[in-house]
Amino acid sequence: MLTSFHHLFPLLLLLLFKTHKSLSSPSSQTLVLPLKTRITQTDNPTHKPTTDKLHFHHNVTLTVTLTVGTPPQNISMVIDTGSELSWLRCNRTSNPFPIFDPTRSSSYSPIPCSSPTCRTRTKDFLIPASCDSDKLCHATLSYADASSSEGNLAAEIFHIGNTTNGSNLIFGCMGSVSGSDPEEDNKTTGLLGMNRGSLSFISQMGFPKFSYCISGTDDFPGFLLLGDSNFTWLTPLNYTPLIKISTPLPYFDRVAYTVQLTGIKVNGKLLAIPKYVLVPDHTGAGQTMVDSGTQFTFLLGPVYTALRADFVNRTNGILTVYEEPDFVFQGTMDLCYRISPVKIRSGIVHRLPTVSLVFEGAEITVSGQPLLYRVPHLTVGNDSVYCFTFGNSDLMGMEAYVIGHHHQQNMWIEFDLERSRIGLAPVQCDVSGQRLGIGS
């Protein structure tokens, strides 16, 4: 998935939204969209040279299929809570995946660079909007994995769910989308920005809340819910406030979903981490973002080092460290283990210590299988290589903590924009899906 400059391109599944179910009257606009997974193939060799690295890239994206334009065109869009501007791939070059053709839509309206939208509502873009040769508002978006998209801002009719009337939204009509893997890049036909910026999809649509629940299984991957989630059967949520800093700072994303990380526990015991390390400094470096678009969780160097050392100590005698000093999974994860199939079948992952991310008023506890991720196509003898699913932000050149999708599995996560807070509760996503009428 494409992301903003601090935001990582992630995950391990591709989540597609196939059907839409309305739970209430159109006035409340509560919609549930079930997820579907697709695994991206990798080309890594079976035996990894000791001097090589698996560079950071996206393995999984979250997408929703919307109808856009007049007459409507079906387009798949990546959902990204770390980005603001929604965009569609608009070039008409050869592509096996459906892309948006603005010349076929009578409701398509480009935004001139003289408009207030171009001049004032793009203030949170990393690269300022500019004026192209046709005097249209031009946007260039760049991402952490060196990919980018470029094109013009426009207004168009978007339909979501079973709604009859569409909504006129500002988006980017991108003529250029580039990245490190052209074949996979072609599959990205659009992006749905979901952060708190004024031009994000969620802001333009006016939803006061949205939630998601990701199970991490192929049978029922999970769902996205747009609107309120006041269900009597839902476990009470623990809320943590969103952190806002109005002053522009070089390393602080003002429209991200930023919370305050107050500590990290291993088996219930807090690590000895100075509080100041967890708080954004005078440049904004050190913010903590909850991000559905990032696969794993990334911690700044001193905190990662403390967690890594404690985890190694506690797993001594349980797991065998993969002793290849130059091997760093996806360029950020340098703690990996050799594990035999027999040990996996015996349930060794259930002997691992728990890791809890502690926030003001809430926690996310990671245990068992989500603590490790199997490196694709890498074996050492009969052993597979599994890496600890917390990475070092410093190795990415990233001045932030990012709580990734992999560690949000089987959590109901509510983004409450009205009250400026995030709600968390451990749930079984498949059971919650059944209660919503979309589970198996």
Question: DSSP character for 227?
Answer: S
Structure tokens at 386: 């599994």
CA distance 386 to 373: 5
CA distance 226 to 256: 18
Question: DSSP character for 228?
Answer: -
Question: DSSP character for 310?
Answer: H
DSSP code per residue over 18-41: ---EE-S-TTT--EEEEEE--PPP
Q: Which of 145, 291, 310, 383 is catalytic?
A: 291
Q: Exposed e or buried b for every residue in 130-162, given b needs 16+ CB within 10 A?
A: eeeeeebbbbbbbbbbebbbbbbbbbbbbbbbe
Whether residue 80 lies in the annotated active site: yes
282, burial (CB in 10 Å: exposed 0-12, middle 13-18, buried 19+): exposed
CA distance 129 to 415: 28
CA distance 200 to 186: 23
**Separation of CA 253 from chain center:** 15
Q: What residues contact residue 90 under an 8 Å CB cut-off, 6+ apart?
A: 99, 100, 101, 102, 151, 173, 174, 175
Whether residue 124 lies in the annotated active site: no
Structure tokens at 124: 């949170």
Q: 135: left (phi > 0), else alpha (psi -120 to 50), else beta?
A: left
CA distance 100 to 67: 10
Q: What residues contact residue 123 under an 8 Å CB cut-off, 6+ apart?
A: none
Residues with catalytic annotation? 80, 291
